[in-house]
A = this chain, B = another copy of it.
Amino acid sequence: MKKTDVVRAILADRQHLLPCNTEAEAYASSNIALCKYWGKRNTELNLPMTSSFSISLGNFGSNIRLSVNENVADTACINDQLLDWQSSFGKRLREFLNLFRITPTLGFHADIHTNIPIGAGLASSACGFASLVQALDRLFGWELSLLELSILARLGSGSASRSLWQGFVEWHAGTQADGMDSYAEVCTDVWPDLCIGLLILSDTEKKISSRVAMQRTVATSPFYTAWPETVRHDLSAIKQAVREKDFLLLGKTAESNALSMHATMLSSWPPVLYALPGTVTAMQKIWELRQAGLMVFFTQDAGPNLKLLFLAKDKAHMKTHFPNMPIIQPFINE
């Protein structure tokens, strides 16, 4: 089964329509997984081995203005810089746009503005593809459900399936071969006191992409067989923590889940280590603060940066320890 089959199935009778607008705009928040997505059961369709659970990052994300022109070559700008179609993100973006090109002569122009570093493990592709599918929906006038858009976003980037909503989101692994049951859904629980700190230690593009690291882990880590069971346990604990507003359970489980994911990479061959020296320094600082009584936990994605979890009551305290760190309260509009 190919991506085009999935697109055809979802768009059904809509697929032969031409764009009903010449331009459309959309915004999607980045999201960070509190229970991680690591490893695919199908690399073509980005079908995950396990379900995952995330929190959106509010104003941190990606805005896209998408337009079409007949007989004009594709162009894309990211933060006003022309995108090289030969770059890693350029290739992925073009491959994705091709899925929706009705006629070979249809040209797309994408004008992307993002306020998060690209390729640094801050889910730039998650919000990028999530905003793109929404812009495509508006451009073509499909009026697809968010659930259907979640499936389309997944074809661009797994974690993009979670970036269509604000707040807590669960992406169901699903079991079907065509992935029609592998989509994300928003969770109705809200937690206004929850704060996320973005501890950016490096904003340069990582040397090993998430998809390469993921494939290597599944193929070579002796511990990967235990990962799905770890996720089942952690996902259940995190959902309970969210329901009961049990911050200790949330923080502990999210931190442990992230470290276990990095443990699977460390045991792969060749080894994958996303930590920089500064990551280790920051981890030690967080553990020391916690031992001193400050309830702060971290999570880490496929990059060197940490995302800190704490409650609003400790915001002032956290600002003294991490003065330049952007802080997000996903459930408070600022």
Contact = CB atoms under 8 A, between A and B. Distances in A.
Contact of A259 (B256, B266, B281, B287): B266
Interface residues of A, number: 31
Contacts of A262: 266
A222 interface: yes
Candidate in A262, A271, A281, A287 with the most chain B CB atoms within 10 angstroms: A271
B269 A266 contact: no
A234 to B, nearest CB: 9
Interface stretch (A5-13, A54-62, A148-156, A272-280): A272-280
Interface string A217-233: 00000110110011001
Interface in A199-250: 222-223, 225-226, 229-230, 233
A15 interface: no
Contacts of A225: 226
A319 to B, nearest CB: 24
B222 A260 contact: yes
A75 interface: no
Contact of A229 (B222, B233, B263, B267): B222
A283 interface: yes
Contact of A269 (B256, B270, B275): B256
Q: Which secondary structure characterizes the binding site on chain A?
A: helix
Contacts of A270: 287
Contact of A280 (B252, B256, B279): B279
A36 to B, nearest CB: 12
A306 to B, nearest CB: 13
B271 A281 contact: no
A264 interface: yes
A207 B281 CA distance: 15
A260 B267 contact: yes
B269 A273 contact: no
A255 interface: yes
A277 B281 contact: yes
Given A222-B226, A222-B230, A262-B266, A256 B271 contact: yes
Contacts of A255: 271
A223 B259 CA distance: 12
Candidate in A225, A275, A281 with the most chain B CB atoms within 10 angstroms: A275
A259 B252 contact: no
A91 to B, nearest CB: 24
Contacts of A267: 223, 230, 256, 259-260, 263
Shortest Cβ-Cβ A-B pairs, 7 listed: A277-B277, A263-B263, A223-B223, A260-B267, A263-B267, A263-B266, A222-B230
Given A223-B223, A230-B267, A277-B281, 19 more contacts: A222-B226, A222-B229, A222-B230, A222-B260, A252-B269, A256-B267, A256-B271, A259-B267, A260-B266, A260-B267, A262-B266, A266-B266, A270-B287, A271-B287, A275-B275, A276-B280, A277-B277, A277-B278, A279-B280
9 contacts: A256-B269, A256-B271, A259-B267, A263-B264, A266-B266, A270-B287, A273-B283, A275-B275, A279-B280
